[in-house]
Structure 1
Amino acid sequence: MWLNEEQLIDSRIVAYRESLLNSCPHHIVIDNLLDEDRLDDVIKVLQQPHDWQTQKHTYSALYVDDAQWENTTAEQRFVQRDVWQRATASSNNTSADIAQNLLSFLRGDEFMSLLSRIFNVTITDMNVEDPDINSNYFRLGATDFVELHADDSPGREICMLLYLNKEWHNNAGGQLTFIGENNQPMSIAPLYNRCVLFDPSSKGSEHWVEKLNAEYTDEYRYNVTSWYWSE
């Protein structure tokens, strides 16, 4: 059982829905959504140093290689971060199964049914060509960045971030920051077992991640990111 049932009673679902509709951008923050003992086991898997690969995006092209990256100006680079390598992790570490299981759960019927209830839209992978690439673990180090961008691809209804940072320092940086209403930025700290759900097509949903404080050069900011579509 991954979900914390206390967070799923009908009255809370109603409250999530009301909060979603009355916020700009349309978003909710749910703390302690998942079972922390199981998340602790996931974190142990993610701390394996050889299971990560750097991912780079520019505003003109996603998944660029080093040559393309070097030929792109700093202003055109918007993502540099590490992405978890499922195949590598599975071959190197038998305990990686629990990390894989969480990703599978996030694309399973139970979790997508919960999202459907909160957002009042039917979420499904029926028409998604490769669901697996739409849920994965990412980490940011002190030299990494996620600059201002939008996630509003056609048909994409929900973006989800789940943070896996134990004992995160208040001044470490790494906040998710939305443009917000009337360009008044709104930030959310990446606290452990905090789930952020937002409508990427809603006003003010463009966002970035605050860079990590150089004081914490030996630490990483971990999260799961998932994107979901309707029928």
Structure 2
Amino acid sequence: MWLNDQKIIPSAIRRYRKALAASTPRHIVIDGLFDQQKLDSICAVLQQEQYWHSQKHSYSALYVDESQWHATPDTERFVQRDLWQGYIAVANHAQSAIALEFLQFLRGTEFMALLSKIFDVQVTDIHVAKPEINTNFFRLGARDFVNQHADDSPGREICLLLYLNKDWSNEQGGELVFMGKDDHSVTIAPLYNRCVLFDPSSEGSEHWVKAVTHGAAAAYRYNVTSWYWSE
């Protein structure tokens, strides 16, 4: 229903596993993994301005409030972006349900089984206290940023990034950059229905996002971020 069946056939899985073994960091890029018509419906939901909330992280504390943020030096700030408040959206607008349904699919048995097969590790939410907070939509504007950081929390096996930016061009910025190996960074454009899966504990997996340009035709860069743990 949500997945493009041609992207999950056995030969494709073998290619993904081979690419993981050959890359630094261990990552794969899959274009067109999800059903595009359904993603189009989600994109319409994400245009509802009232359901976005500013989120700020420093290197020493997550979810910093405004007073803490103003007291934090620029060099200690690593995330400023907007978070989608899906449960509020669904409660007020029935058409928003498809976006929440997709987030739930990404944490469901079918999709986690696919990830387990690709990465050859058993991912599960059995020991995750609040799994739903680990999968959500985010957006970045020209004033926002995601600076260099690692996602290698204990037990975290896989990170997913899915981009929802139609007609995105190189001039608009917003590229994901992995540190890579031996000064060879890896840069990935945030193109529509492009899914990036990576092992956050692998060499070179520290990453950041290039700034969205002020002159971008689209006001925001949209993506889903999701984290997965093993048993």
Aligned partners of 1:142 and 1:217 also within 8 Å: no
CA-CA distance at 1:217 after TM superposition: 7.2
Question: Which of structure 1's runs of 4+ aligned residues deviate more than 4 A?
Answer: none
Say what the alpha-carbon RMSD is for the aligned residues: 0.8
- Cα distance in 1, alignment partners of residues 135 and 31 from structure 2: 19
- Cα distance in 1, alignment partners of residues 121 and 202 from structure 2: 15
In structure 1, the residue matched to 2:15 is 15
User: SS of 1:227's equivalent?
Assistant: strand
User: SS of 1:57's equivalent?
Assistant: strand
- Cα distance in 2, alignment partners of residues 183 and 150 from structure 1: 17
CA-CA distance at 1:218 after TM superposition: 5.4
Q: What letter is aligned with 2:12?
A: R
- Cα distance in 1, alignment partners of residues 171 and 129 from structure 2: 40
User: SS of 1:214's equivalent?
Assistant: coil
In structure 2, the residue matched to 1:76 is 76
In structure 1, the residue matched to 2:109 is 109
In structure 2, the residue matched to 1:216 is 216
- Cα distance in 1, alignment partners of residues 183 and 206 from structure 2: 10
1:140 matches 2:140: yes
In structure 1, the residue matched to 2:204 is 204
In structure 1, the residue matched to 2:152 is 152
CA-CA distance at 1:86 after TM superposition: 1.5
Q: What letter is aligned with 1:154?
A: P
The runs of 5 or more residues in structure 2 that have no matched partner are none
- Cα distance in 1, alignment partners of residues 127 and 116 from structure 2: 16
User: SS of 2:172's equivalent?
Assistant: coil
In structure 2, the residue matched to 1:28 is 28
- Cα distance in 2, alignment partners of residues 29 and 218 from structure 1: 23
Deviation string 1:150-183 (CA, Å, 9 cap, x unpaired) is 0000000000000000110221000000000113
In structure 2, the residue matched to 1:173 is 173
Q: What letter is aligned with 1:182?
A: D
Q: What letter is aligned with 1:31?
A: D
1:230 matches 2:206: no
Deviation string 1:106-135 (CA, Å, 9 cap, x unpaired) is 000000000000000001000000000000
In structure 1, the residue matched to 2:122 is 122
Aligned partners of 2:158 and 2:227 also within 8 Å: yes
- Cα distance in 2, alignment partners of residues 218 and 100 from structure 1: 23
- Cα distance in 2, alignment partners of residues 143 and 218 from structure 1: 14
Aligned partners of 2:87 and 2:100 also within 8 Å: no
In structure 1, the residue matched to 2:97 is 97
TM-score w.r.t. the length of structure 1 is 0.98
1:53 matches 2:42: no
Q: What letter is aligned with 2:210?
A: E
TM-score w.r.t. the length of structure 2 is 0.98
The runs of 5 or more residues in structure 1 that have no matched partner are none
- Cα distance in 2, alignment partners of residues 208 and 66 from structure 1: 23
Q: Percent identity among equivalent residues?
A: 59
- Cα distance in 1, alignment partners of residues 218 and 86 from structure 2: 23
User: SS of 2:54's equivalent?
Assistant: strand
User: SS of 1:96's equivalent?
Assistant: helix
- Cα distance in 1, alignment partners of residues 156 and 43 from structure 2: 28
User: SS of 2:50's equivalent?
Assistant: coil
